[in-house]
A and B are shown apart, each in its own frame.
Chain A
Amino acid sequence: MEKVLEVVDLRVYYEIPQGTVKAVDGVDLEVFKGEILGVAGESGSGKSTLALTIAGLLRPPAKVVSGKVLFKGVDILKLGNDELRSIRGRRIGIIFQDPVTYLNPIYTVGFQVGEVFEAHRGGKVGKYFSEVINLFKAVRIGDPERRVYSYPHQLSGGMKQRVLISIAIAEKPELIVADEPTSALDVTIQAEIVELLNEIRKELNTSIVFITHDLALLLEIADRIAVMYAGKLVEVGRADEMYKDPLHPYTKALISTLRYERKRRPTPIKGSIPSLINPPPGCRFHPRCPYAISKCSQVDPKLSSVGGRLVSCLLVGGSNG
């Protein structure tokens, strides 16, 4: 299958007064054409940084320390500003999490969507309004002819998110990065948006990197899932297989919280997310892991292949030991 995106040993760090935040610390990923790759992780796992880096939107104080992000074979981290600009919005689209702050309150939504066309086709934003109306129809924004002239604050959360989606898909990109696109919405709207994204994927045959903390959501929509913890990936594999048979202790714990029966309460994972400035030595999950052995605090396991799955745990097969 054709590979749309390949991330090779990516490390992205921030320098802040308190120290160096290792938000992404050695991540390898592949995204194939037309698939939905879910990236699951708690807040503080570095997934948003990953999203921004893939979309070519990283800004100081974050810095790519090493690694490659190959979009269709081209390392976008090495591209100049002009080349990046022609990719942004046209070949890679991004959907942000919070539609309230990510839309400019002083311009109409129609204008803000039209800007995507202006950026890549030139001319004035005004002449693209009819295309924007079509887009609004596609993402199912009601009464689109009137809505193009609305301001963001006049729309509901779900509608605003659809506007952000229109911005992302306007030029039919080959890759869409969705950074928590549903986290700010009601559950019922969430389902609609997820539906919508699935349709878009089918219609445009585009790949989606769907980043969220909601593993249950991913299990429904994603083809493959990558689980991220403290800046690193701990397990990558097909969604249905992971649900049936999670291999990494962290994934196991996450899945078990989804599968509890009515009588029993889910057991929370003890402890809390580690600091990205001073991660625990060895395996980053070991302080919270019920299966940890002494070696886990000394050796940091690498992602290795275990029967079609990628897992980084000393206790799970592979040549890690």
Chain B
Amino acid sequence: MTLVRYLVRRVWHSIPTLIGALLFIFILVRVLPGDPARLIAGPEALEEDVQRIREQLGLDRPLHVQFIDYVSTILRGDFGRSIKFGTPVINEILFRLPYTIVLALVAEVIAVAVALPLGILSALRPNSKVSYITSIISLVGASTPSFWIALILIYVFSVSLKLLPSSGAESPRHIVLPAITLSLVLMGNLTRITRSSVIEALSSNHVLTAVAKGLKDRVVIMRHVLKNALIPIVTIMGLQVGNLLGGAIITETVFAWPGIGSLLIDAIFFRDYILIQGIILFMVLVFIVINIVVDVVYAYIDPRIRDILWRMT
């Protein structure tokens, strides 16, 4: 019951942040040079037509009124109409969203499958070969530009070996290279966090108590080291969604993967400001929601937090 209350509380506290973000996105688009009405009307249009469109879109009204309008349309789920395609923005987003989700999930699975075992092992066996490999992977992930890795992978696997496709999303094989590229960024971070989290847990005093009880080493490690280390790791995994979103933009662009990341870049190329606005807003919303979920899950896992919350509410 208290978890639900915490959830409500978190949502309540996110509202000002959300409004702030909306304001920011709103200003972003208004600051742009160029007259949206003219853009929509086209360069040949007559002044009266441009004026008509301007009135239609409410662009001639004072800014704060425009903002309130904007917020109320958003609340109704209306993200506007794309300038380029003429279709509702929300439709465009929802159509391509599944591709991004699939890519993100596969990338996350790969990253976790590699980073967690490596991180744990390298913490348990410092100065070993495993530890060395782990350091290299985490450094590579954190230092190489993903667009470059993508191109190198394309060169090796698509061009030279002709094993894997380099663009599009027609078959399951198409996801391999993009997912690996995206996962590398995550892996870099995750291995490092996992390793330091396990090392920290290993040097905790309660581990000494566990050993003093005469428990088997394996039990001590599983129960008193790993489970404790897992808490910060899971938290970080949740927060990595931000990296996923940002990384997806680049990865999707390089591999022409039809998700919302490449949609954003396309929209930028077409100067479709309504679409740009909508995608950014959507991504921010997703990010905020995920953060809330992570907070609640974290509260669920750690009994200390649970009690602090109980006392707070």
- Give chain A's interface residues, CB within 8 Å of chain B: 55, 57, 81, 85-90, 93-94, 96, 98, 101-107, 112, 115-116, 118-120, 151, 153-154, 164, 167
Candidates B210, B211, B214, B303; contact of A90 at CB < 8 Å:
B214
A103–B204 Cα distance when bound, in Å, is 10
The answer to whether B205 touches A116 (Cβ under 8 A) is no
Would you give 15 A-B contacts (Cβ < 8 Å), ordered by A? A88-B213, A88-B214, A89-B212, A96-B205, A96-B208, A102-B209, A104-B209, A106-B303, A112-B209, A116-B214, A119-B214, A151-B303, A167-B209, A167-B212, A167-B213
| Further 12 A-B residue pairs, CB within 8 A, beyond A55-B212, A81-B217, A103-B209 | A86-B214, A87-B214, A101-B204, A106-B231, A106-B303, A115-B210, A116-B213, A119-B219, A151-B304, A153-B307, A164-B209, A167-B209
Candidates B206, B215, B219, B302; contact of A103 at CB < 8 Å:
B206
B167 within 8 A of A: no
A-B contact count (CB 8 A): 77
Q: Which residues of A contact B195 (CB under 8 A)?
A: none
The answer to whether A120 touches B214 (Cβ under 8 A) is yes
A153–B310 Cα distance when bound, in Å, is 13
- In this complex, the member of A57, A87, A103, A105 whose beta carbon has the largest number of chain B beta carbons within 10 angstroms is A105
* Contact of A119 with B303 at beta-carbon distance under 8 Å, contacts A57-B208, A102-B206 already known: no
Closest 10 A-B residue pairs measured CB to CB? Answer: A89-B214, A88-B214, A101-B205, A89-B213, A104-B206, A119-B214, A119-B215, A102-B205, A116-B213, A102-B209
The answer to whether B216 touches A106 (Cβ under 8 A) is no
Give the total of B residues in contact with A, Cβ under 8 Å: 23
- B window 172-222: CB within 8 A of A: 204-206, 208-217, 219
A98–B231 Cα distance when bound, in Å, is 23
Q: Specify the chain B residue showing the minimal Cβ separation from A164.
A: B209
- What is the predominant secondary structure among interface residues of chain B facing chain A? helix
A98–B205 Cα distance when bound, in Å, is 9
Q: Which residues of B contact A102 (CB under 8 A)?
A: 205-206, 208-209
A118–B210 Cα distance when bound, in Å, is 12
A119–B205 Cα distance when bound, in Å, is 19
The answer to whether B228 touches A104 (Cβ under 8 A) is yes
Q: Which residues of A contact B219 (CB under 8 A)?
A: 119
- What is the predominant secondary structure among interface residues of chain A facing chain B? mixed
Candidates B210, B214, B303; contact of A105 at CB < 8 Å:
B303
Q: Which residues of A contact B227 (CB under 8 A)?
A: 106
* Contact of A151 with B307 at beta-carbon distance under 8 Å, contacts A115-B215, A119-B215 already known: yes
The answer to whether A88 touches B212 (Cβ under 8 A) is yes
Q: Specify the chain A residue showing the minimal Cβ separation from B230.
A: A106
Q: Which residues of A contact B213 (CB under 8 A)?
A: 88-89, 115-116, 119, 167
Shortest CB-to-CB span from B204 to chain A, Å, is: 7
The answer to whether B304 touches A153 (Cβ under 8 A) is yes
Q: Which residues of B contact A116 (CB under 8 A)?
A: 213-214
- B window 267-313: CB within 8 A of A: 302-304, 307
Q: Which residues of A contact B307 (CB under 8 A)?
A: 151, 153-154
Q: Specify the chain A residue showing the minimal Cβ separation from B225.
A: A104
Q: Which residues of B contact A107 (CB under 8 A)?
A: 223
Candidates A87, A93, A105, A119; contact of B216 at CB < 8 Å:
A119
Candidates B205, B216, B302; contact of A85 at CB < 8 Å:
B216
Q: Specify the chain A residue showing the minimal Cβ separation from B209.
A: A102
Q: Which residues of B contact A81 (CB under 8 A)?
A: 217
* Contact of A106 with B205 at beta-carbon distance under 8 Å, contacts A88-B213, A115-B213, A151-B304 already known: no
Q: Specify the chain B residue showing the minimal Cβ separation from A107.
A: B223
Q: Which residues of A contact B209 (CB under 8 A)?
A: 96, 102-104, 112, 164, 167
Q: Specify the chain B residue showing the minimal Cβ separation from A115.
A: B213
A277–B97 Cα distance when bound, in Å, is 63
Q: Which residues of B contact A153 (CB under 8 A)?
A: 303-304, 307
Q: Specify the chain A residue showing the minimal Cβ separation from B301.
A: A106
